[in-house]
Structure 1
Amino acid sequence: MVNTLEVSALLRPDAKISHLVTDASRHIAWAEGDATVCMTVLNDEGAFEPNTVIAHGHRVTGLLYHMGHLVVSDESLGCTFYDAQGEAVEVHSLEAGVLSMETWRHRVGVIDGLGHVHVLQRGHESVALSERLQLGECNAIAASDDTLYIACHDGSLVQANDSTVLWRRPIRGEHGEQITAMGVSHRGVLFLTREGHALVGGDEEAIEFEGWLNGELLVRTDMKARLRTSYTTSDVTCLGFDDGTVHFLQDDGSLTHGLSTGHPIRALIHHEGHVLAGSWFYINGLDADGRSWTVEHQGMPAHFGMLANGVVVFAGDDQNDYTAPEPVGRINLLAELHDVDPSELTMWFEAPNAPVAASAEELYGADAGEEVLHLLTSDEQVAYNQGGPVDETMGDLLADLESDDDAFAPEAPLLLEEEDLLGPALDGTLDAAMEPSDDLLTTLTSQHAVFEAPQANAGDDQELVTGPGGSVAVHLDGRATLDPHDQIRAWSWTDASGRELANTPLLQLKLPVGAFGFDLKVLDANGTWTTDRVSVVVKSGSTS
């Protein structure tokens, strides 16, 4: 037996859910497929109003509620502010699209497709913060009151307001490092994990966890796992790691263990003593009394949202393009824990009209002939009712089913020859096997969709000329990578030494005169990497 909570299907979408967000009150929005956004609201009776559907028109990269509006970011247009009726009221265009965004008080901080940070505010022009602060390519931001922490691909990290750099974290390691994840706690502690080379004797790489407050280092410790996600409320900060553990961040920067799931943590949420962790196909929970519970999902829970009255909504997909979209679930945190058999955890999302297996009594009862007839084709049913042969084997079976029980006694066993049983089943297979090989291949592939694994594409080789400063800006674009089934889970650009330069499809850098090679590596959902290389030759533009 296993502890669980009340769970039900909130909605069954028409396409896979890629993003989901709530405003912690009554509103919920989600993205279906690539470019469709839906919104709804919880009414006073606890039911949801009909959905408002937005045909956004561009591939959605993020959703957030901000000051009464739904902000939708995408990979080509930028950010669009929608009102409660789903009408677009303001658009902030960003040429490279948006990779990620985060609320920053009355503003929104975003990272565009080239790794540049911008600050958006309704009714105001966007601010190109990276350009203003002269920052390189950035990979993460975290808001803290009136300041913004910005991590760059070169390992640097700064704290800034909208005009000035206030603090710089000292670079650690001589061989390069990268900030892989970061956030700010409810007490204002900056926490981060970073990776670097040769930090520990005998090790090629090391993972460290750091906590900072007001520019002072609180803690630095070696880690065996990477930080995958975090969630902060007004009084709690939870961290989820790829070893399946959830920890609580203390005021002094130390970590205390919360729960273990056995699989990487994909999403976290905390509410009034409950912590919920999305891991594999389960939501693992821990209540305020330390009791654990489990909810199973049809997909891998990757999105959580909090609504009023202790309702948590969640979504995730099974990373299989050939299955139906997974439902959005709803958990009632105010309900009592109860025990169920583990096999019952799937009942809430199983199809309501799924066929039920017939019992032996139903198959072999007095009206068995009528009950079995629905299993025959229409032609077979007509032949049977007219007394003609359905086929010899099926006719014998139906006749025996309609006879009395003595027909099945040991003295009169029902014997079928192997040829009678297997012959009809093998006929179609043998016919297909006798076809010419080209026809056989066509027959097989016409019935089964072909799966194509992602294939990295680093773009065409480039030959460039330096400008007056002796260098040139180079743009590397991996968006031509083949990914017909949306299976890409990670990107990695590396130079000739193997040093990672970016983990996004786009990379911008400055190069001097010389010949350079860069590798684009793409990780798919099966854990397989594919690689493509692009060469860049930079020639001097000097005429002296």
Structure 2
Amino acid sequence: MRKSVPLLRKIASENRVVAISVDGEGKNPVIAEKNRLFDENGNEFECQGISGIEHLKNGDLIVSHKDGITCLQKFKPGWNFQCQTGAENLFSDGLNIVFSDALGKCYVIDHQGNLLFMPDNQSTLFISLGPQLAIADESGEVSLWSWSGEKTWQRPARGDIGERITAIGWNNDAIIIAREGHGLVPGEEEAIEVECWRDGKLVERSEPKGRVVAIDGVWLGLDMGGVQYYDKLAAELQHPVKKIIDGGDRALLASWFHIYMINGDEIVWSVEHQGMVEMIAVNDDWSVVMVAGEDQNDWTESEPVIILDANAEAESVALVKNEVDDWAEAPPIEIDAASLYDEKDDAFEALMAEEKVTSKSNAKEMSVLLDALEDQLSALEEDTKPINEDENLDLALHDINLLEDLDSEVEEYIAPVANSGNDITTQSDENGVAMVILDGSETYDPQSRVSSWQWINALGKEVAQSSKVKIKLNKGVHRFELRVKDSEGSWTSDALTVTIE
């Protein structure tokens, strides 16, 4: 029989929950909706376009949103880190803060809002925090960065046909990478593989039980349902694993409408949520586990966030009276079969009699309407004269011309494509400086949709808000990025390198 643990409480939300977080002691669970975040003590902060929240070790709360990052100190704004392309994917180890923007650029800032560095990756796919910062690109590149900003390792490509990284995660000081090859793979290369790298060396490469979509520690979540512990299938599930939290010899995971606690051999307990579980947040000792999800139904109210104790003793579902499954089952209604099918039911006969009267009335009204419609059709037939072939051809040509005019008025949307120009190499003067023009006027914009320009240097600071700018640079290698926003709110970017010799 399935086992579960009792709920500690439920927290209602007004709108869809986009993020949850709890501090290490479990004293301050915080919930974020799209435009506000709140806690159980009545504290509230409004902010547009929230995408994530994280607690720092000093008690501050970090919020990512459409304008960048905001630090809240007791729900009051402390500092802001502006990012015009928005902050989308937020991570923190309690001290360092990492996020990516709408263009896939990655930023690393400290707990005081200072930019530490920007990795040179082009399109961030996955981020994982451990002894170092691990980043996977959509191109299949995986790199490690020290917290001082040094690129310490880059994974060599596997195979010649191409590959895709499906998940990354840390197991102590080893980085675990799940990948899949594109199409048919040659030689000894497997279509699906998991790699373990330590100190820049490949420690192990193995074939998992299925496509891996989540990694934490030695736990692998599979796309086809199931959890792998080391090389053993610890549990079989019916749906993909959305998230895993490593606890050594145990793990919490989200799959479909359930949150599971598992060990290396079996499912210890599970709790059903009203929505599809998308987020799990835990405190240090797992005595407070926050679970949030959405049932994908626009016609129902937002699902509550539930809080449970992962360390509680598991009991059979029948004994857990306040287990969250109680909202999924309606109490049975007992009724005698004779009462249900009794042909002498007076109420049923009265209802049928009323239905007959209504039916006759509706039939009479319908007959009147049909007679009136027939009269109108007869009148139209008398006024209608036949159309000869020439008139019919003229009408057809008129319709074709009308369609062509309408089609010419509907302009297909063509998105701009940023073009920062070619890399520049030039000589400095006797003072070791040079004047350089950054020119993005070759940006592809056939429909004149560009609404804003932005030149950004390697530190993430804005240099100019125009398509062309003249700047003075010292000797060295400088990197600049052109960001272009169109009238639809979409961004495109391109970069170049300027070398001053």
Check whether TM > 0.5. Answer: yes
Q: Could you tell me which amino acid in structure 2 is paired with residue 420 of structure 1?
A: A
Match of 2:61 among 70, 74, 88: 70
CA distance in 1: counterparts of 2:121 and 2:286, whole angstroms: 44
Match of 2:232 among 256, 262, 266: 256
Contact 1:24 1:305 in 2 (8 A): no
Q: Is 2:296 aligned against 1:296?
A: no
Larger deviation: 266-275 or 307-316? 266-275
Cα pair distance change 1:293/1:309, threshold 3 Å: closer
- Aligned residue number for residue 539 of structure 1: none
Per the TM alignment, residue 93 of structure 1 is displaced from its structure 2 partner at its CA by 0.8
CA distance in 2: counterparts of 1:435 and 1:86, whole angstroms: 69
Q: Could you tell me which amino acid in structure 2 is paired with residue 90 of structure 1?
A: W
SS of alignment partner, residue 183 of structure 1: strand
User: Residues 214-264 of structure 1: CA distance to partner in whole angstroms, max 9, x if unpaired?
Assistant: 1111222334633333345xxxx4332212211234xxxxx3322122101
CA distance in 2: counterparts of 1:128 and 1:314, whole angstroms: 33
CA distance in 1: counterparts of 2:127 and 2:56, whole angstroms: 17
Structural mapping, 1:225-374, within 5 Å: 225-232=210-217, 237-249=218-230, 255-271=231-247, 274-286=250-262, 290=266, 292-307=268-283, 310-341=287-318, 350=327
Contact 2:419 2:443 in 1 (8 A): no
Per the TM alignment, residue 341 of structure 1 is displaced from its structure 2 partner at its CA by 4.8
Match of 2:107 among 114, 118, 123: 118
Match of 1:210 among 186, 195, 198: 195
Contact 1:197 1:204 in 2 (8 A): no
User: Residues 26-55 of structure 1: CA distance to partner in whole angstroms, max 9, x if unpaired?
Assistant: 2211112x1111124xxxxxxxxx231111
Cα pair distance change 1:149/1:269, threshold 3 Å: closer
Contact 2:70 2:79 in 1 (8 A): yes
Per the TM alignment, residue 282 of structure 1 is displaced from its structure 2 partner at its CA by 1.9
Q: When the two structures are superposed, what TM-score results if normalisation uses the length of structure 1?
A: 0.61
Cα pair distance change 1:294/1:198, threshold 3 Å: closer
User: Residues 240-291 of structure 1: CA distance to partner in whole angstroms, max 9, x if unpaired?
Assistant: 2212211234xxxxx3322122101123335585533221112233368856
Cα pair distance change 1:129/1:345, threshold 3 Å: same
Q: Could you tell me which amino acid in structure 1 is paired with residue 239 of structure 2?
A: H
Cα pair distance change 1:65/1:359, threshold 3 Å: same
Cα pair distance change 1:139/1:429, threshold 3 Å: farther
- Aligned residue number for residue 353 of structure 2: 420
User: Residues 420-450 of structure 1: CA distance to partner in whole angstroms, max 9, x if unpaired?
Assistant: 26448879999999999xxxxxxxxxxxxxx
Match of 2:157 among 166, 171, 181: 171
User: Residues 283-330 of structure 1: CA distance to partner in whole angstroms, max 9, x if unpaired?
Assistant: 233368856333221111122222467232211110111111112222
Q: Is 2:14 aligned against 1:14?
A: yes
- Equivalences, count: 390
Q: Could you tell me which amino acid in structure 2 is paired with residue 265 of structure 1?
A: V
Contact 2:220 2:227 in 1 (8 A): yes
CA distance in 1: counterparts of 2:332 and 2:355, whole angstroms: 24
Cα pair distance change 1:474/1:223, threshold 3 Å: farther
Cα pair distance change 1:305/1:158, threshold 3 Å: closer
Q: Is 2:70 aligned against 1:80?
A: yes
- Aligned residue number for residue 194 of structure 1: 179
CA distance in 1: counterparts of 2:367 and 2:193, whole angstroms: 62
CA distance in 2: counterparts of 1:464 and 1:432, whole angstroms: 66
Cα pair distance change 1:416/1:313, threshold 3 Å: same
Q: Could you tell me which amino acid in structure 2 is paired with residue 269 of structure 1?
A: I
CA distance in 2: counterparts of 1:429 and 1:221, whole angstroms: 73
Q: When the two structures are superposed, what TM-score results if normalisation uses the length of structure 2?
A: 0.65
Contact 2:123 2:137 in 1 (8 A): yes
CA distance in 2: counterparts of 1:298 and 1:60, whole angstroms: 23
Q: Is 2:130 aligned against 1:144?
A: yes
Contact 1:475 1:508 in 2 (8 A): no
Q: Could you tell me which amino acid in structure 1 is paired with residue 98 of structure 2?
A: G
Larger deviation: 295-304 or 98-107? 98-107
Cα pair distance change 1:71/1:459, threshold 3 Å: farther
Cα pair distance change 1:204/1:219, threshold 3 Å: closer
User: Residues 310-367 of structure 1: CA distance to partner in whole angstroms, max 9, x if unpaired?
Assistant: 232211110111111112222233433322359978766539xx99788769xx9xxx
SS of alignment partner, residue 420 of structure 1: helix
User: Residues 63-110 of structure 1: CA distance to partner in whole angstroms, max 9, x if unpaired?
Assistant: 111122111111x21111111x20110111112112212225632122
Long gaps (5+) in structure 1 = 41-49, 250-254, 365-407, 437-457, 481-504, 512-544
Larger radius of gyration: 2
- Aligned residue number for residue 30 of structure 2: 29
- Aligned residue number for residue 442 of structure 1: none
Percent identity among equivalent residues?
23
CA distance in 1: counterparts of 2:134 and 2:153, whole angstroms: 9
Per the TM alignment, residue 142 of structure 1 is displaced from its structure 2 partner at its CA by 2.1
Match of 2:421 among 455, 467, 486: 467
SS of alignment partner, residue 353 of structure 2: helix
Structural mapping, 1:81-120, within 5 Å: 81-83=71-73, 85-104=74-93, 106-120=95-109
Q: Is 2:202 aligned against 1:221?
A: no
Per the TM alignment, residue 4 of structure 1 is displaced from its structure 2 partner at its CA by 1.9
Cα pair distance change 1:230/1:434, threshold 3 Å: farther
Q: Could you tell me which amino acid in structure 1 is paired with residue 18 of structure 2?
A: S
Cα pair distance change 1:71/1:297, threshold 3 Å: same
Contact 2:417 2:493 in 1 (8 A): no
Match of 2:144 among 141, 159, 163: 159
Q: Could you tell me which amino acid in structure 1 is paired with residue 90 of structure 2?
A: M
